[in-house]
Amino acid sequence: MVRETSLSPSDFILPLFVCPGEEVASPVSSLPGAFQHSIDQLVIVAKEAFDDGIPAVLLFGLPESKDAVGSSAWADDGIVQRALRALSEGVPDLVRIVDVCFCEYTDHGHCGVLREDGSVDNDQTLDNLAHQSVSLARAGADVIAPSDMMDGRVGAIRQALDQEGFAETPILSYAAKFSSAFYGPFRDAAGSAPSFGDRRGYQMDPANGREALHEVELDVEEGADLLMVKPAMPYLDIVRRVRDRFPHPVVAYQVSGEYAMLRAAAANGWVDYERCLMESLVSIRRAGADMVITYGARDAARLLSQGWNE
């Protein structure tokens, strides 16, 4: 009766990885419980998640080919574009959120166009992000979620969507995305590890909280509709500060490393996975997140259906 924070399956967003082929469900060894799914299998899993009460998925694509600029990211027959059309038909009421970035699509694994010295050219990348976003909106994306961390990308995407007739398509901005060591298993799942260097030049310094709020404010000014903090648990203070300062819905991403640690510790008998998962999700919601992206979404929904909140 007096519990301050509760959980519901409707609080969760399930990340899914879509790959080429048919009848593919390839497990990700570093991310137990996660798979690379072909489109036919993706639709089945998404339908099961929706039936569990989870309202939304976040899609990441593994393309058939890669090049220096990630051009397959905006191809009409791209892997995510085809997945969106299949989900629109197979699970029409599911909210389809799409990650917008190039690390999965470039042959070098960085999030944009590279200069000769190997650094990312921010301004050239903006045009490509706009192309990708419009292509995904045409294919049926409900929400565009840019994760690249280029300066000005929310404004560029908003302008492109508006010009192409998608003024009502919201943008979920990875507004405070930190250069974190917790992304390792995701890079295995998405095949997106950089072939050289790292991403500290365009992702947030983990030591900087005030700068994070400034980055969020810039995205709000450019037209972001929802705001994301990533990772979640190491940055609960940022989640709270964003919640207190901005009226927008706040999303926190319990990233692959956070989730994989729980699974690994449980596999060694050191912790109770189910209790730790639910405690971590409660803490993220208590910090102020309206929604949580988590690889444990279906496990959490199952536990809630069994009366965990009681």
Structure tokens at 142: 């409900």
What's the rounded Cα separation, in Å, for the pair 272 and 249? 31
pLDDT tens for the chain, 310 residues: list them.
898 999 999 999 999 999 999 999 999 999 999 999 999 999 999 999 999 999 999 999 998 888 877 788 889 999 999 999 999 999 999 999 999 987 788 877 677 777 878 778 888 889 889 999 999 999 999 999 998 878 899 999 999 999 999 999 999 999 999 999 999 898 778 666 555 555 566 678 999 999 999 999 999 999 999 999 999 999 999 999 999 999 999 999 999 999 999 999 999 999 999 999 999 999 999 999 999 999 999 999 999 999 987 6
Q: Is residue 195 part of a domain?
A: yes
Residue 104: per-residue pLDDT: 80
Range of the domain at 259: 9-305
Q: Is residue 3 part of a domain?
A: no
Contact between 86 and 43 under an 8 Å Cβ cutoff? The reply is: yes
Sort strands 12-18 and 291-294 into parallel, antiparallel or unpaired.
parallel
Residue 190: per-residue pLDDT: 66
Domain count, the chain: 1
Residue 260: per-residue pLDDT: 96
Could you read off the pLDDT of 86-122 as tens digits, one per residue?
A: 999 999 999 999 999 877 888 776 777 778 787 788 8
What is the CATH classification number for the domain harbouring 203? 3.20.20.70
Contact between 265 and 300 under an 8 Å Cβ cutoff? The reply is: no
- Residues annotated catalytic, as ranges: 177, 230
Choose among 33, 35, 13: nearest CA to 24.
Answer: 35
Residue 261, SS3 per DSSP: helix
Contact between 209 and 237 under an 8 Å Cβ cutoff? The reply is: yes
Residue 67, SS3 per DSSP: strand
Count of CB atoms situated within 10 Å of the CB of 307: 7
Q: Is residue 222 part of a domain?
A: yes
Q: Is residue 16 part of a domain?
A: yes
Residue 37: per-residue pLDDT: 97
Token look-up 């899993």 returns 45
Q: Is residue 192 part of a domain?
A: yes
Residue 200: per-residue pLDDT: 60
**HSE-up of residue 241 (Cα within 13 Å, Cβ side):** 18
What's the rounded Cα separation, in Å, for the pair 215 and 198? 20
Q: Is residue 263 part of a domain?
A: yes
Q: Is residue 259 part of a domain?
A: yes
Q: Is residue 310 part of a domain?
A: no
Residue 64: per-residue pLDDT: 87
DSSP 3-23: -S----GGGEEEEEEE-SSSS
- Reduced 3-state DSSP string for 70-111: CHHHHCCCCHHHHHHHHHHHHCCCCEEEEEECCCCCECCCCC
Whether residue 63 is preceded by a cis peptide bond, meaning omega within 30 degrees of 0, is no
What's the rounded Cα separation, in Å, for the pair 205 and 234? 13
